[in-house]
């Protein structure tokens, strides 16, 4: 007797796909890729996690308004552009409300006419969008496009919701890691710069008979006015002082 897959077995299979997709994304983060590269990888991997996806893209709200930050097919850019021009559509609604939006184009014409027209012209039949919030600078929606009129079920929406939630957590951790690494580099640079700055302060204190605070303020002022790093200003002053002393000795 032939056995047909149940919803439970299908759900298990999709969970395995999600796990595999997330593992690939995590490996990409460990290679310290740029955000655009990571989100491109996220879009490629969601093609594995959700069935019947023909294109995937991510809408992010930027300074000049929403834009398709990454996508797997340039046709997605054209479809989304109509949403942005009209100021409404499933991706914008999902990003604004924080809710999953599952759309069959035959039912969306009255609500989002511009989007529906562009999507139909691109040969699409269904659309699925989930909110994506990384931080206050990067927030929007992940969008899936299908040529099938009934391409997305409630199960697919649940899968996408799980996937985007996990991706959000990974990306936030990745952003915090990068911020920590930048701070560590700044602290290391500051420690390496301190001896030179202290020497330059000493030179100014001797030359101008001023306090350490006044000497440091002089260095900072010159650094800002010349748009030069404080360490470079200090090193230049030390080199000039050493050069001048050498010239006096030879004279």
- Structural domain contains residue 24: yes
Residues composing the chain: 251
Domain that holds residue 24: 7-180
Same domain, yes or no: 137 and 239: no
Residues whose CB is less than 8 angstroms from the CB of residue 77 and which lie 6 or more positions away in sequence, other chains included: 57, 68, 71
Query: What is the side-by-side strand order in the sheet with 55-62?
Result: 65-71, 55-62, 139-146, 126-133, 101-104
- Residue at which a domain ends, from 180, 199, 227: 180
- Structural domain contains residue 161: yes
**What local confidence, expressed as pLDDT, does residue 7 receive?**
54
- Structural domain contains residue 1: no
- Here the CATH number for the domain that contains residue 65 is 3.30.450.40
Same domain, yes or no: 45 and 15: yes
**What local confidence, expressed as pLDDT, does residue 245 receive?**
47
Question: In the chain, how many domains are there?
Answer: 2
Task: Record the tokens describing residue 47, joined without a space.
Answer: 């093609």
**Residue located via tokens 């700055």:** 197
**What local confidence, expressed as pLDDT, does residue 101 receive?**
95
Check: CB of residue 132 under 8 Å from CB of residue 166.
Answer: no
- Structural domain contains residue 113: yes
**What local confidence, expressed as pLDDT, does residue 75 receive?**
92
Same domain, yes or no: 39 and 91: yes
- For residues 75 and 55, give the distance between their C-alpha atoms in angstroms, rounded to a whole number: 8
Same domain, yes or no: 161 and 231: no
Same domain, yes or no: 112 and 62: yes
Same domain, yes or no: 12 and 102: yes
- Structural domain contains residue 50: yes
Same domain, yes or no: 105 and 134: yes
Same domain, yes or no: 128 and 243: no
Q: Cα 96 to chain center, whole Å?
A: 18
> What are the E-state strand segments in 63-179?
65-71, 101-104, 126-133, 139-146
Q: Can you give the pLDDT of all 251 residues of the chain as single tens digits?
A: 334 345 566 656 656 666 666 666 666 666 666 889 889 988 998 888 888 899 999 999 988 899 999 999 999 999 999 999 999 999 999 999 999 999 998 888 889 999 999 999 999 999 999 999 988 888 999 999 999 988 888 888 988 898 888 888 888 888 887 777 777 776 676 656 678 888 888 888 888 899 988 988 888 888 888 888 888 888 888 888 766 544 344 44
Same domain, yes or no: 12 and 107: yes
Same domain, yes or no: 135 and 198: no
Q: Cα 68 to chain center, whole Å?
A: 12
């Amino acid at each position: 007797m032939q056995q047909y897959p149940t919803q439970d077995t299908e759900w298990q299979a999709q969970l395995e796909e999600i796990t595999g997709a997330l593992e690939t994304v995590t490996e990409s983060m460990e290679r310290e890729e740029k955000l655009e590269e990571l989100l491109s990888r996220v879009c490629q991997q969601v093609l594995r996690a959700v069935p019947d996806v023909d294109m995937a893209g991510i809408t992010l709200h930027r300074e000049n308004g929403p834009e398709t930050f990454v996508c797997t097919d340039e046709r997605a850019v054209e479809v989304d552009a109509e949403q942005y021009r009209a100021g409404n559509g499933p991706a914008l609604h999902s990003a604004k409300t924080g809710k999953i939006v599952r759309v069959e184009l035959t039912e969306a014409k009255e609500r989002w006419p511009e989007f529906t027209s562009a999507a139909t012209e691109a040969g699409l039949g269904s659309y699925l969008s989930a909110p994506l919030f990384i931080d206050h600078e990067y927030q929007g929606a992940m969008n899936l496009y299908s040529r099938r009129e009934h391409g997305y079920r409630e199960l697919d929406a649940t899968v996408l919701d799980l996937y985007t939630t996990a991706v959000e957590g990974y990306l936030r951790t990745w952003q915090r890691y990068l911020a920590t690494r930048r701070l560590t580099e700044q602290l290391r640079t500051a420690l390496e710069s301190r001896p030179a700055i202290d020497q330059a302060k000493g030179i100014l204190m001797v030359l101008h008979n001023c306090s350490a605070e006044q000497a440091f303020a002089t260095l900072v002022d010159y650094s800002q006015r010349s748009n030069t790093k404080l360490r470079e200003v200090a090193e230049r002053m030390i080199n000039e002082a050493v050069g001048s002393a050498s010239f006096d000795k030879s004279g």
